[in-house]
Amino acid sequence: MGPIQLSGSLTNPEEMGRAVIVKAGGEVETGEGLFVGSRIQWSSLQDGPLSTLRPISAVQVPDPTNPKTPIAPAAAVSTSSVSSINVQTKPIWALDSWKSKKALQLPDYLNQDKLDSVLKTLDAFPPIVFVGEARSLEERLGKAAMGNAFLLQGGDCAESFKEFNANNIRDTFRILLQMGAVLMFGGQMPVIKVGRMAGQFAKPRSDSFEEKGGLKLPSYRGDNINGDAFDEKSRIPDPDRMIRAYCQSAATLNLLRAFATGGYAAMQRVTQWNLDFTDHSEQGDRAI
C-alpha cells in the first residue's frame, strides 16, 4: 500500500466519517475511514466494510466555506513511516461554546438571578436522551446519507403545554409508523423515523415585538419561553417555563419508548392500521 493523504472530517482518534483519499501519483479515492492511532482504517465506497490499515502521509482539513479548497499532493514516504503526519485540529467544543457566538433568537429575561437558578437546576437533571441513543441515530443517519435508508421526520411546528396528553402523543407516533411502513414498502429500504417532539417548544421569530390595537408586546417565542395570550404578563419571558418543558419532554419520551418496545409498534399492527385506512376512507379509495 502506498502513502495516502486524508482530506475530510476525520481529524480525531477513533472518529468515523467520510473522506477523500489522495494517493501517491494523484489518484483520488472516496470512501470512509477510522483513525487508529497514527494510521487510518480505510475502505473505499466500492470495497465494502472497513478492512485495510494504511499509514497516513498527511492530513489536510479543507475550509468548509470553500468546497474547492485544493488538496496538496501526498508526500512520498514508505509504508512503515508515519513521521510526516501533520494533523490540523478543529477548535475544541464545550457546552458553553455557543456563548462566544452571536445569537439572534435568545429571549430577554428580566431577572438574571432567576434565570441562573433555573439553569443550575436543569444542569442537575438527568439527560432526556442518552449518548447511546444519539450514537445509534448518528449511525443510522449515516446510512441515509449514503442512500441506504430513507429519513422520515414529522411532528408539530411547536409543541404546547395545553395540548400535552397521551392521546396526542400516541396519534403522532401512530402516523409516523404508518407513513414509515408505506415508505419502506414503496422504497424497498429501511426508514428512519424521527419525531419532531419531546422538546420542540421554541419558535424563532423575525420580529422581537408584535403590535395589536396600538399595544406593542414581545413576540410569542414558544411555551418554554412565554405565553401566547396577547397581554403583558403572558409575554414576559419566564425561566420556570424551561423546567416545565423539561418535565413534559421527559414524560413524552418515556411514553414513546413504551410504545416502541411494548408491542404497539409491531409491524402486524401497523399493517392492519393501513388496511383499515384503505377500507374505510375516501383517501384510501383514491390510493387504491
Answer yes or no: do 136 and 105 share one domain: yes
* % of the chain residues with pLDDT over 90: 51
Query: pLDDT per residue over 105-121, tens digit each?
Result: 999 999 999 999 999 99
Answer yes or no: do 281 and 186 share one domain: yes
Q: Which of 58, 73, 90 corresponds to the end of one domain?
A: 90
Which amino acid is located at 257 in the chain?
R
* Better-predicted residue by pLDDT, 103 or 285: 103
Answer yes or no: do 171 and 237 share one domain: yes
Answer yes or no: do 240 and 130 share one domain: yes
Answer yes or no: do 117 and 75 share one domain: no
Query: What is the distance between the alpha carbons of residues 221 and 235, in angstroms, rounded to a whole number?
Result: 9
Query: pLDDT per residue over 43-61, tens digit each?
Result: 444 444 444 444 444 444 4
Answer yes or no: do 182 and 272 share one domain: yes
Answer yes or no: do 77 and 126 share one domain: no
Answer yes or no: do 278 and 144 share one domain: yes
Q: Is 9 exposed, middle or buried (0-12, 13-18, 19+ CB in 10 A)?
A: middle
**Structural domain total, the chain:** 2
Query: pLDDT category, 188, cuts 50, 70, 90?
Result: very high
pLDDT (0 to 100) of residue 93: 86
Please state the pTM of the whole predicted model: 0.63
Answer yes or no: do 85 and 101 share one domain: no
Residue 244 DSSP one-character state: H
pLDDT (0 to 100) of residue 83: 40
Cell of 137: 441515530
**pLDDT exceeds 90 at position 224:** yes
Residue of 166, 184, 192 lying closest to 259 (CA atoms): 166
Q: Which of 66, 90, 114 corresponds to the end of one domain?
A: 90
Give the residue numbers spanning the domain of 132. 97-287
**247 annotated binding-site participant:** no
**157 annotated binding-site participant:** yes
Query: What is the distance between the alpha carbons of residues 19 and 4, in angstroms, rounded to a whole number?
Result: 12
Q: Which of 63, 90, 117 corresponds to the end of one domain?
A: 90
Answer yes or no: do 24 and 53 share one domain: yes
Q: What is the mean pLDDT of the chain?
A: 77
Query: What is the distance between the alpha carbons of residues 288 and 272, in angstroms, rounded to a whole number?
Result: 16
- 125 CB-side CA count, 13 A: 17
Query: What is the distance between the alpha carbons of residues 41 and 54, in angstroms, rounded to a whole number?
Result: 6
Query: pLDDT per residue over 57-91, tens digit each?
Result: 444 444 445 555 454 444 443 444 444 444 555 67
**pLDDT exceeds 50 at position 3:** no
Answer yes or no: do 75 and 44 share one domain: yes
Report the CATH number that the domain containing residue 195 is assigned in CATH.
3.20.20.70
**pLDDT exceeds 90 at position 230:** yes
Residue of 27, 24, 6 lying closest to 15 (CA atoms): 6
Answer yes or no: do 126 and 255 share one domain: yes
* % of the chain residues with pLDDT over 70: 62
Query: pLDDT category, 123, cuts 50, 70, 90?
Result: very high
